[in-house]
Structure 1
Amino acid sequence: MLSNCKMPVSEPRFANFGSVFLGPVLSFFSQRLLDNQPQDKPLYFLAREGYWLQQAYNHYLNGARKQQKSYYLLASRAFLFKLLLSDERSYTYSLKGDFTGTFYDLMRTRFLLCDSEITTIFTERVFNTQIDLKKDKSKIIAMLTDSRDDIDLLVAPIKCAYLAYLKSIEVTAQSTLHLVDLGYSGTIQSLLGILLNKDTHGHYLIASNPGSHKVASTRAYMQGYLKEGVKIGDGYLPLDRSMFLESLLTAPNGQFRDIKFNTLNPNSFDMYYGRKVASQRYFYLLEQVMAGALSLCEHNAQRAVNFTANELEILLESYLAKPNMIPHAVRHIFDIDDDVAGNGTVNAIQFFGLG
């Protein structure tokens, strides 16, 4: 029976695609991070994209024969929205954008509350209320304020476990927290600053809101290495079609949704994740793509091969604007989940009509 089992075959075409599409991006970003990392401060690579961004950075450091400290930090917008659900300082971020539906659906999709949590905290009249987020923000805040004590009881054990996890990777010991992500507006950076009451420095490939900003009682500095000051819809293709990068730069797990202390070992944690999209279900293919990208990072560092921002933009635009540049064999892994915005799973190639 075992002789009929087929193991995944490593194919050079996957690694080749990774080296020409993602390799220059990761090499460029890693070089800029190395140039800008404070000597005595670790970098914290955020969310799902941080899984590969940190590995690329480590490969670049290895090629450059340098050492810098870094950690992969589990976080997601929705998880932090839930953790800060009773904190009015977070509503600037969690209650923006479009949403129409019931209050119940808002709590479930944007704040990760399950059915039992919603029905325990809020009355039936409240959670069945129809809302339009753009018109009813003050009404929503009033509903949350009325239930603040119950919300605090709900999130207290989650917050306790998450703060212990952050302490285990030295986050709480930092005076200023240096965070790394693809971009773009710095929402997770701002929420972590609120949660920890710390100043933060965000290192991004693209930063829509560069410079120093007041976030509650803290300062958040945002820095973009490829481009600054552009927003989605401005016509800057690497940002407007950033889901191409997001779909591949993903951890093997779905969205980070919850954390608890391990019942057998109180010094360790149980992590909980959302559903997987195609790039995670076919992670063995993604690993082959990324092997080529990581190899190029190390190669470029060894030989001091650098890309300018203009060179990288030209390369990216050739893939993001022209049809049939993405090999057919990997097109099915260009999925991302956009649950926070209520869009479910989106395939980048299909969405932009490049198939």
Structure 2
Amino acid sequence: MDELQSFGYRFLGPIITSFFDEIEKKKTGNELFFLAREGYHLESLYKYYCGLLGKSYETKYLLCSRVFLFKLCLTDKNLIPLTLGHHFKGSLESLLIRRYGFSGTQINKVKKDLKNSDKLLATEISLPSRQDIAVKAIFDVSRLFINELESKKKLYLKYLDSIGFNSDNKSVVDIGFSGTIQKLLSKITNKKTIGHYMVTTVNAKNSAECTFHGHFSSGQKFGNGYPLLDKSLYLESLLTAPHGQVNDIFGSDDGYRFGYSTKTKAQHEFYLIDQVVEGIRSYMDDTLESGLQLTKEYVPEYFASIVKRPQFIPEGLRNILEVDDHISGFGVLNPIKVFG
């Protein structure tokens, strides 16, 4: 087993396998939708997990992102506040580009067609503290694109219908944390959903629309010392898809196609990530049949013991571990550089 596979075996194998064990205890039905970039490998690994245990399953990889769903929420003024709860500091123009995926062409249209646009676009936005300023500004901008946005929303609902995401109580899976994507999916589809996560924050509160399961922990806060949350960038950078963040949808001869943001280094050298994931499969091979996998109560401490020593991460991985966090205004982050 090479170094990357060995790392996947030792680091992610125990965590992912324990996560799936907990999902099995709480899931209702056999249909799971795996969300966003992290869902790409989680979905294939869950299939592998079920195959080893002889369990039935029906899984789908659901293409989505907060940026893309935030953009679709601009069709409904009542949903705009839901898009503004996450931290951000910068100009309105920067917010439109980073949080909603507005293109240069769209920004130019705002400058051309909206009264006092120069002043408006330069307005400093601080979130979540000054949502009042942001809501009105975002609403005024969204009216310029309402027909286009409505069309994109219809295309996306058509996509969701095509993969079977069209009835209540669908179960979704992601690594965590506030359940934002789940909330947005429930809002735009008017369907109840159940979410399965490694860890959830205090913002993942059960409602009439959404139920949240934090299988390792729930009700956590960033900065309070829970390692799977505070250093979750490691999980996000390793569990990524070969494509960039979903940021648009277009009509095509096949019905629709998706647009993606720029790839990170991890996606440009995705073959390295694939080797790490092979190690996770090997861990499942060696532990599931005998029941020797790590159990959930040991996962947080185990995770912390590895990420506190960056030298445990193979040198070939260290420079490519990147996460696109433009949504918060931070750009692309490397967890090793962030945490040292």
TM-score by length of 2: 0.92
- Say whether 1:206 aligns with 2:199: yes
Alignment equivalent of 1:254, drawn from 244, 247, 259: 244
Residue 98 of structure 1, CA deviation: 3.8
Aligned partner letter, 1:132 = I
Counterpart for residue 164 of structure 2: 170
Superposition map of 1:223-302 within 5 A: 223-262=213-252, 264-266=253-255, 269-302=256-289
Counterpart for residue 60 of structure 1: 49
Percent identity, please: 32
Aligned partner letter, 2:134 = I
Alignment equivalent of 1:143, drawn from 137, 142, 151: 137
Alignment equivalent of 1:185, drawn from 172, 178, 185: 178
Aligned partner letter, 2:213 = Q
Counterpart for residue 307 of structure 1: 294
Counterpart for residue 118 of structure 1: 107
Counterpart for residue 331 of structure 1: 318
- Say whether 1:96 aligns with 2:96: no
Distance in structure 1 (CA, Å) of the matches to 2:237 and 2:126: 28
Relative to structure 1, the CA distance from residue 42 to residue 209 in structure 2 (aligned partners, 3 Å threshold; closer, same or farther) is farther
**1:259-296 per-position Cα deviation (integer Å, ceiling 9, x unaligned):** 1232x333xx3221111111111111111111111222
Distance in structure 2 (CA, Å) of the matches to 1:237 and 1:152: 42
Counterpart for residue 20 of structure 2: 30
Check the 8 A contact 2:19/2:296 in 1, yes or no.
Answer: no
Check the 8 A contact 2:32/2:60 in 1, yes or no.
Answer: yes
Alignment equivalent of 1:51, drawn from 37, 40, 45: 40
Alignment equivalent of 2:65, drawn from 64, 76, 79: 76
Relative to structure 1, the CA distance from residue 156 to residue 211 in structure 2 (aligned partners, 3 Å threshold; closer, same or farther) is closer
Counterpart for residue 151 of structure 2: 157
- Say whether 1:196 aligns with 2:196: no
Superposition map of 1:11-30 within 5 A: 12-30=2-20
**1:10-30 per-position Cα deviation (integer Å, ceiling 9, x unaligned):** x61111111001101111111
Residue 124 of structure 1, CA deviation: 5.6
Relative to structure 1, the CA distance from residue 289 to residue 152 in structure 2 (aligned partners, 3 Å threshold; closer, same or farther) is same
Distance in structure 2 (CA, Å) of the matches to 1:316 and 1:31: 17
Residue 211 of structure 1, CA deviation: 7.2
Check the 8 A contact 2:236/2:323 in 1, yes or no.
Answer: yes
Check the 8 A contact 2:204/2:219 in 1, yes or no.
Answer: no
Please give the root-mean-square deviation of Cα atoms over the aligned residues, in Å. 2.0
Q: What is the aligned residue count?
A: 335
Aligned partner letter, 1:164 = K
Structure 2 unaligned blocks of 5 or more: none
Counterpart for residue 8 of structure 1: none
Relative to structure 1, the CA distance from residue 123 to residue 181 in structure 2 (aligned partners, 3 Å threshold; closer, same or farther) is same
Check the 8 A contact 2:75/2:150 in 1, yes or no.
Answer: no
Residue 180 of structure 1, CA deviation: 0.4
Distance in structure 2 (CA, Å) of the matches to 1:140 and 1:323: 39
Relative to structure 1, the CA distance from residue 49 to residue 58 in structure 2 (aligned partners, 3 Å threshold; closer, same or farther) is same
Distance in structure 2 (CA, Å) of the matches to 1:245 and 1:66: 26
Relative to structure 1, the CA distance from residue 92 to residue 303 in structure 2 (aligned partners, 3 Å threshold; closer, same or farther) is farther
TM-score by length of 1: 0.88
Distance in structure 2 (CA, Å) of the matches to 1:187 and 1:342: 17
Relative to structure 1, the CA distance from residue 123 to residue 316 in structure 2 (aligned partners, 3 Å threshold; closer, same or farther) is same
Structure 1 unaligned blocks of 5 or more: 1-10
Counterpart for residue 328 of structure 2: 341
**Most deviating of 196-205 and 318-327:** 318-327
**Most deviating of 272-281 and 301-310:** 301-310
Relative to structure 1, the CA distance from residue 192 to residue 297 in structure 2 (aligned partners, 3 Å threshold; closer, same or farther) is same
Distance in structure 1 (CA, Å) of the matches to 2:202 and 2:77: 22
Aligned partner letter, 2:206 = H
Distance in structure 1 (CA, Å) of the matches to 2:134 and 2:281: 45
Check the 8 A contact 1:64/1:298 in 2, yes or no.
Answer: no
**Most deviating of 82-91 and 229-238:** 82-91
